[in-house]
Structure 1
Amino acid sequence: MRFVVVSDSHGDREILVQLVAHYQDQAVTMLHCGDSELATDDPLFTHMTVVQGNMDFNGQFPAKTTFSVDNQRVFLTHGHLYGVNTDLTHLLLAAQEVHANLACYGHTHQLDCEMHAGVLLLNPGSIAQPRGPFRNLKGTYAVIDVTPDQYHVQYYNRQFIPVSQLQLTFQRT
């Protein structure tokens, strides 16, 4: 199972078009963690699950969503409603409440990936306006490959090239 996770594209529709085209022939589940700043009826969103960010002013995307794919319970949100700028406690609790083992979020524009109490918490960073120590990459997204025993996380830049120092593996519990 493979998830492609992107966030905070802030109106950069072209990078999302390229991302969908890049993965169109692969069996992936595409997730957008909010702040697309695009219309909810944009045809791109037939290819991905999207949530409302604090800069998505149309109010038509859900604030959060939970779904299952091949025994993976996914909790998807933007993060601003869970205080992710401060810590991940509220996000973790929300994911645990819905029995998710994968929680994806955005908002901070900084990539992050941590395992807490059997829940993988992942922020792909911003594909359009990155912040933090990896802002020199000019934008990132993440790919999560799930095996029966592990989560393999690889971050990529806007040119779809893996960032070698941003590869992580976590044991599934």
Structure 2
Amino acid sequence: MKKIVVMSDSHGYHQMIDRVKELEPDGDFYIHCGDSEAETYMMQDWLCVKGNNDWYSDFPNQIKFKVEDLNFLVAHGHRFGYMDRETSMIYTLQEANCDVLLSGHTHVPMYKEVDGYTLINPGSTTLPRGGSNRSYCVIYVEGKDLKVEFKNLDDF
């Protein structure tokens, strides 16, 4: 079983990046879904994509990686729009030949399965929206099975 630690939208609060890693020291993968507002060298231990506020980094717009039997795609989410957002997300997964999308941007946690695809947003570690708490998530993968746990940073 592999453990993936996912965060997003820390918006310059760099201590949150370190805090999440301290809380989850045994992760196999550390993913930041964009808007870290960190410089590239600060995210060396993370797979990190560029968000709409990442002006000082050269992170890629998307990252693909495989864990066990699942193909993951990471993208910030600002390119999915707001009208028919899920359809755009599924189309992007299909184009990339991936099973799971990890994205941020909305600052609202989400875990949804649609037509055999999985959409996950860890929420925001610093600026939550939609009545959510400051959060990140942990994904456990075994084969094609995954389990998602959202972690409330307001508890720490």
Structure 1 unaligned spans of 5+: 162-173
> Following TM superposition, by how much is the alpha carbon of 1:46 offset from its aligned partner in structure 2, in angstroms?
2.2
The CA RMSD measured in Å over matched residues stands at 1.7
CA contact under 8 A between 2:6 and 2:33: conserved in structure 1? yes
How far 1:140 sits from its partner (Å)?
0.5
Give every structure 1 segment of 4 or more consecutive aligned residues whose post-TM-superposition deviation is greater than 4 Å.
none
Distance in 1 separating the partners of 2:154 and 2:75: 25
SS in 2 for 1:91: helix
1:10 partner letter: H
d(CA) in 1 for partners of 2:56, 2:62? 15
Q: Residue 129 of structure 1 aligns with which residue? A: 127
The CA deviation at 1:159 is 5.5
| Correspondence list, 1:46-61, <5 A | 46-61=44-59
Q: Give 1:37 deviation, angstroms.
A: 0.4
Provide TM-score, normalisation by structure 1. 0.82
Cα deviation digits, residues 34-81 of structure 1 (max 9, x gap): 000010111xx2221000000111251111111212222110000011
> Which of 118, 135, 153 matches 1:140?
135
**Aligned equivalent of 1:16:** 17
In percent, how many aligned pairs have the same letter? 31
Measured in 2, the distance between the counterparts of 1:89 and 1:39 equals 32
Shift of 1:148: 3.5
Higher normalized contact order (CA 8 Å, seq sep 6+, divided by chain length): 2
Unaligned runs of 5+ in 2: none
